[in-house]
Structure 1
């Protein structure tokens, strides 16, 4: 019997990520997996790691995980399309055989995770996550059937796992079936094109040609409904990427969350910005269903978390989520208004909050008018040196930035010998009154990150509290 393939050597992966999440993911793979050769493009992060594949599946800022099969230059502009596919995309037979064997070994290592790469019976609804022009193909009937589609990242239904497939170079006896021939590998192609490539080449024809070329060269058999594996191909103006998905569900599908509110990857990113340390007290004063609290509590297991919301129905769902995740001992929930947080001043180490947009869940308050009061109250309860992380809609973010600019301008024109009407530049982050009085003068802005929430974008603002505001300010 052959020696099992060693999985401790460096392996090349890539993960898809929501728009704006690429840098978070790149940082995460370095910190958690000691990854090398880390680089990213829009919607994807490539990396090499010796970490166990189960550790790789623990990434929190990624959407889907792939074993990297090939990363090649863009498809040439000139030449016969079928020939280009054969020469540039398919290439050598041995590379595919080795990739299949490695993929199967990784799948065996993941056995018991109930993760299937293809997802039989899944919903085919397609969601656009990367903000680029994409095209995808339908099911093709007839010889050389190929399916060109992208499985849904969020609405895939569960299907029975299919792991531990025979390696293509093993004998039948090694699987306890004397006298039987190993079954042929079945596959389907998931093909996407973006940018100018989608205008130069017919994506349906490309998908069909890739599938036919794989069948002819490798002897694999197409199966649209229950294939052994899926070959993902993305052809763009920057590169041609081929990968084999390792998991049935996206990494963003959290097994510990019963009812999701905010996108989990974004909630995790917000928690990662909060500089949470062991023993920290972390507050979400508008917690909704508690997604931010759950992501933070799972990642930082030696801290305490407090969630509040004025909406009793949302708070009840948060309680269900906390109980489902078995985090009752570290997450406390209570009903309260964000404008009157029932905790002492300077008593929490971090405040993380998704300010409601009024898009997914209704919001009776005028957030533009309420934002100064809300942030001032968050500033009050935050200890000096603590971090405030806010998720804002683009209009609210613009309001915040304009306020910062007005505050800096007011400070610059203050009369000599008089107390400045605004804090110095870099020490403000809030709206101003008609008298240019700073709303939250002790908050120092530390950065802004634009992220996608699917149908809309949002901006994550980070602040640090650098002083205790004077009474009456």
Structure 2
């Protein structure tokens, strides 16, 4: 991680223009999707990203004129600019000595470039707010319980915060406009957030945040404020790796497209990562048969607008939430003056095991399956999963169709996949952390077998027909 130096040149009339300089940006990503996020950074910014020893973080170098592009990344939850990185920091054995060392490094850190990036970032946000007008934050209609939050402990408080911001779009040449709240003419409010992993430290996260924060306060003469802060200084410690940074986001970006939440709302960054694994192509028909609040199809329709997305659920409230979230995006595009505010997406209420779709009509199926905890039950999954995989195989195109399925009920899924081995072939699995639960994202390829042609498939079809007849008789 290099530390660039900003160069200032005269641009006539005594005006100073800051020349672009190199900085290292850190980003928190859904645990397990580090490589997917690194691929997106390479694709959209052209930078090589390195993966932290502490899972869930990546780092990459940019020049400051590319700062707006960083906010367009869909894989990242939170962004920060790196002040300094120590790859092999040697902590002292005693608590007092270790904390004293942290206090002593605060005044000698290269803060200037990171604070300059922080100011540029604020300028972008203010200009965007003036252009679009301040919009009230949407209130969740449910519990975003599946969202994995950034774990953070602060000095004087054990509260956990999420950081994020609306994507900026302004050119960096406009970002040097004078700001009335600069570091030079107004004392800033700040807090230090410490994230610590490893069992060989003699101090706690709160200890480190308190003592390091005290040294930062003494050096800058800033005012400590745990809630209404201007600057959030990050102290990330993972065993002997220490990274000091300044946050560029205020709340997690994973809520970006959702206004109506459900009990198991999937975070947008995780939904985007799943879609990237499915590799959508132009004109693909992509289905989320258990859409919940529509996080997956909404991410898809915004990023891959040349594909068609169909979302559905058997629960009327889930369908209603998805429709409301779609309408919110459409309205936002209309307000923003989009020439094509419509979206290639539709929503249907249906029974997943009996989809109202033609056989071999779908290219990709991507969905968050019930874990059997907050939704459904482990017992029901033993019947539900095989039926789901069978119906998904029916509507998916042989040989080219694919599915990316998320579940924490790994044992049940593996058993169901074994039963459907004639129709689906697993290519690989990505292990992820979803709200503290260890889950798997299973990437499947539809085999070339025609649905119902193999003896195994015929037995499955006959069993399904017998079950339907029994249900009809019970209803009579």
* TM-score when normalising by structure 2: 0.75
Give me the whole-angstrom Cα distance separating, in 2, the residues matched to 1:128 and 1:335.
Answer: 25
Change (3 A) 1:77 1:368: same
SS at match of 1:60: coil
Name the one with the larger helix percent: 2
Question: Could you give the per-residue CA deviations for residues 214-273 of structure 1, whole angstroms, max 9, x where no partner exists?
Answer: 233333343444332111112221311111111222111214544362222221111111
| Partner residue, 1:151 | 161
| Alignment gaps of 5+ in structure 2 | 1-13, 131-144, 165-177, 331-340, 458-476
Give me the whole-angstrom Cα distance separating, in 2, the residues matched to 1:30 and 1:370.
Answer: 39
Change (3 A) 1:3 1:286: same
| Partner residue, 1:121 | none
1:431 and 2:418 matched: yes
| Partner residue, 1:193 | 196
Change (3 A) 1:149 1:310: closer
Q: Compute the RMSD of aligned alpha carbons.
A: 3.1
1:254 to 250, 253, 256: 256
| Partner residue, 2:326 | 322
SS at match of 2:18: coil
Question: Could you give the per-residue CA deviations for residues 138-179 of structure 1, whole angstroms, max 9, x where no partner exists?
Answer: 52xxxxxxx67542469xxxxxxxx9465446xxxxxxxxxx
Deviation of residue 38 (structure 1)?
2.4
SS at match of 2:122: helix
SS at match of 1:111: helix
Give me the whole-angstrom Cα distance separating, in 1, the residues matched to 2:356 and 2:206.
Answer: 59
SS at match of 1:243: strand
2:71 to 57, 68, 74: 57
Give me the whole-angstrom Cα distance separating, in 2, the residues matched to 1:339 and 1:189.
Answer: 50
1:471 and 2:453 matched: yes
| Partner residue, 1:108 | 123
SS at match of 2:35: helix
- How is 1:64-213 mapped onto 2 (pairs within 5 angstroms)? 64-72=78-86, 73-78=88-93, 80-87=97-104, 89-90=105-106, 92=108, 95-113=110-128, 129=148, 136-137=153-154, 139=156, 150-152=160-162, 164=179, 166-168=181-183, 182-197=185-200, 199-213=201-215
- Report the count of equivalent residues: 397
| Partner residue, 1:293 | 297
Deviation of residue 75 (structure 1)?
4.5
Change (3 A) 1:353 1:149: closer
Give me the whole-angstrom Cα distance separating, in 2, the residues matched to 1:71 and 1:186.
Answer: 24
1:270 to 267, 271, 274: 274
After superposing the two structures, state which structure 1 stretch, 41-50 or 293-302, moved more. 41-50
| Partner residue, 1:303 | 307
SS at match of 2:16: coil
- How is 1:211-226 mapped onto 2 (pairs within 5 angstroms)? 211-226=213-228
CA contact (8 A) 2:354 2:391 kept: yes
CA contact (8 A) 2:297 2:309 kept: yes
Deviation of residue 444 (structure 1)?
2.2
